[in-house]
Amino acid sequence: MNRAPTLALPLAAWLLLAPGGAQAAGFCAGLDSYKVNPIVGGAPIDLCRLDAKAVLLVNTASACGFTPQYEGLEKLNQRYARDGLRIVGLPANDFGAQERGSNQQIAEFCKVNYGVTFTVGEKLTVPIRRDPLYAQLVRISGKAPQWNFHKYLLSADGRVQSFDSNVTPQSRELVQAIEVALKPAAR
C-alpha cells in the first residue's frame, strides 16, 4: 500500500461551524499562520478559514510524467467540491526541475490544458522540505513527498493521510478516503 498510516493530528483543531447550514472546518493550531497566495491573484487563502470538510493538498509540476493528474484532480473537484472537499495545488520545482515556469505561465498551463478551477497557489520559493506547511505535514504523517503530485488529505476529524505520486486522483484508495472524510461526523 502506498499510503502512510493514518495518524491523529495532535496540532490541528478543526473547528466545525455551520454558517448557512454549510459545515466549515478550520485547519488550525500549528498551521494557522499558513496562507496560500492564489496563483491567479486575489487575497491569500488562510487554511484555518477554508470552508471545507476535507482539504487535499498536492505538490504539482507542469512538466512531469504525473502532470496529467491535473485532469483527475479537476474531476475530483467537480465531483466533491459541493460536498466540502477543497483541493489546493502547490507548484514546486523540487523534483527534477519540472516546474520552471512563472506563476503566470503555470496558471495559463493549468487552465488551458486541464481546465483547472480548484485553487492553485503560487510556486513555492523554498524547497518543499523547508516549507513550513510541508514540514508540519511530514512530521505528522511520517511521509515526505518523494516526487511531484504527492497528496495529503486533511480531514475534519484531525487525520492526515499521505498518498504517493502513483496514487492517482481516481484511484479507489484516494476516492474512498475522500468519501470517508466528507461523511458527516456521528453525533
Domains along the sequence of the chain with CATH: 7-182 (3.40.30.10)
pLDDT tens-digit series, residues 125-151: 777 778 888 888 888 889 999 999 999
* Helix locations, 15-97, DSSP H: 69-80
pLDDT over 60 (residue 10): no
Shortest CA distance to 157 belongs to which of 18, 29, 33, 54? 54
pLDDT tens-digit series, residues 171-182: 999 999 999 999
Q: Name the strand (E) or helix (H) holding 114.
A: helix 103-114
76 within 8 A of 85, measured Cβ to Cβ: yes
Query: Cell numbers 495532535 correspond to what residue?
Result: 10
How many Å separate Cα 67 from the centre of its chain?
Answer: 15
Helix, strand or coil, per DSSP, at residue 87 = strand
pLDDT of res. 5: 34
32 within 8 A of 4, measured Cβ to Cβ: no
159 within 8 A of 138, measured Cβ to Cβ: no
Q: What is the pTM of this model?
A: 0.83
Residue-wise burial string across 34-71, b where 16 or more C-beta atoms lie within 10 A, e elsewhere = bebebbbeeeebbbbbbebbbbbbbbbbbebebbebbe
Mean pLDDT, all residues of the chain: 81
pLDDT tens-digit series, residues 65-117: 999 999 999 999 999 999 999 999 999 999 999 999 999 999 999 999 999 99
pLDDT tens-digit series, residues 29-76: 445 567 889 998 889 988 777 888 999 999 999 999 999 999 999 999
**Would you please indicate which residues are annotated as catalytic (active-site) residues?**
64
